[in-house]
Amino acid sequence: MRKPYLLFLGDVTEFSAAKTAAGLKQWRRDDVVGQHRLPGSGVDLELTDMTPAQAAQAGAGTMIVGVVNIGGFVPEHWVGTIVDALDSGLDVAAGMHQRLNDIPAIAAARERTGRAVHDLRQPTRGFAPGNGRKRTGKRLLTVGTDCSVGKKYTALALEAGLRARGIDADFCATGQTGIMISGRGVAIDAVVADFISGAAEWLSPDADPDHWHVVEGQGSLFHPAYAGVTLGLIHGSQPDALVVCHEPVRTHLLGFDYKVPDLRRCIDANVTAARLTNPDARVVGISVNTSRMDPASVAAAVREIEAQTGLPCCDPIRHGVDRILDVLLN
C-alpha cells in the first residue's frame, strides 16, 4: 500500500469501532498523515482532520477505511467518500467482508482513475484443512474474554518485547488491522469455515526451535457469534503459551446481551481447547486493558487478578509486558 495514510473514520460513534485506525496510529504513527470524519462521527483520534483532496496535497498515498462493524459491510453513505478519495488521486484500502471492488460506483471510479482498491480481508490464497501435526518452533497466542479487548496490541507488544531481549520473534496477523500494520497475515474470520485451522497452521509454519511465532487472537470462546473462529485458531496455532486479554470494567460482551466470562473459567476453557493440539499449552499471563479505568484503581485490580489467577497481570500500554515475558521465558 502506498504510504502515508489518511485514516477514514466514517461516522462511527464508538471508539471500539475505529480500532483499525487506532491500531495504525499506535503502531505506524509515522505512516499516518491525518483522519477524515463524516458529520455525526463521535470518535477523535487526535490526528489532523483533512479531506481526501487535502490529504493528497499533503502527500498521502492511500485512504484506509479504519473502522470495523458487525458483518463487515460498507454503509452506502460512505461510498461517495471512497469515490472522492480515488478521484483525489488516493488509493483506497479496507478490511471489510464486503469487497470495495464489488461496489459498482467504487469499481467504476477505480477504472476511471487508475488508482488501486485493496480488499485486505479477502484471502489471497487457498488453504487445506488442518492436519493437527506438531510443528517445530514455539508459538504464543493471545486469547480473550471478548472481542476488542487488546489481543492484537498485546501480541505486537510481546513481539517487540521478545525482540528487545534478542529473541527471534514474528507477529502473525489474523485480522485486517494486524495485516495493515505488519504487511502480511490472513484475516482468519474471512476464511471458509472448513479451513480455519488449516489457515492458522499455514500462518505459523515450522521454524527454528527457539523462534517464537506470536499469533494475534480473535474473538472469544465465550462469544455467541465468533467462538468457532476462536477455537479453530487455537487448534491451528498449537500454542505453547497463551496470554488471556481482558478489560476489567467490561461487564457484557460488546454489543451482545451476554456477560463477560469469569477470568478463571476463561483460562481453563482456553487451556483445555489448546491442549487438543499441544498438550504442553499453558497460560503465562493476563493482559488487561485499563484505558477506561480510574488510574487510581488499576493497581488494586491488577493485584486482585494476580491473586485470583496466580499469573502475572499487566496492561501493555501502562506497564509493558516484561513480567509476562519473564514467565514465558522461564
Closest CB 106 distance from its own copies, rounded Å: 18
Instruction: Report the nearest approach of its own copies to the CB of residue 128 (Å).
Output: 5
Indicate the residue among 81 and 218 with the shorter CB distance to its own copies: 218
* Euclidean distance between CA atoms 84 and 99, whole angstroms: 17
Give least dist CB 54 to its own copies, A. 35
* Residue 101 grid coordinates: 471492488
Nearer to its own copies, 94 or 314 (CB): 94
- Please classify residue 312 by burial: count the beta carbons closer than 10 Å to its beta carbon, then call 0-12 exposed, 13-18 middle and 19+ buried: buried
Binding site for its own copies (CB under 8 A): 70-72, 97, 128-133, 188-194, 196-198, 221-222, 224-233, 235-236, 256-258, 269, 272-273, 276-277
Which of 169/190 has CB closer to its own copies?
Answer: 190
Q: In Å, what is the CA distance from 1 to each residue of 10, 13, 62, 117, 153? A: 20, 27, 7, 10, 22
Q: How far is the CB of 145 from its own copies (least distance, A)?
A: 13
Helix 295-309 and helix 263-274: axis angle, to 10°? Answer: 50
CB of 3 to its own copies, least distance (A): 29
Query: Considering beta carbons, is residue 125 or 133 the nearer one to its own copies?
Result: 133
- Which triple of cell numbers denotes residue 256? 451482545
The nearer residue to its own copies, 177 or 287, going by C-beta atoms, is 177
Give the DSSP H or E segment for 270. helix 263-274
- The nearer residue to its own copies, 74 or 191, going by C-beta atoms, is 191
State the nearest-atom distance from the C-beta of 278 to its own copies, in Å.
10
CB-based contact 279:237 (threshold 8 Å)? no
Handedness of CA 71, 68, 203, 100 (dihedral sign): positive
4 prior amide bond cis, ω within 30: yes
User: d(Cα 75, Cα 157) in Å, to the nearest integer?
Assistant: 33
Measured distance CA(312)–CA(305) in Å, rounded? 8
Q: Which is nearer to its own copies, 37 or 121 (CB)?
A: 121
Report the C-alpha gap between 115 and 44 in whole angstroms. 28
Closest CB 229 distance from its own copies, rounded Å: 5
Nearer to its own copies, 238 or 290 (CB): 238
Q: How far apart are CA 3 and CA 87, in angstroms?
A: 17
Smallest gap from Cβ 133 to its own copies, in A, equals: 8
C-alpha to C-alpha distance for 77 and 93, rounded to whole angstroms:
17
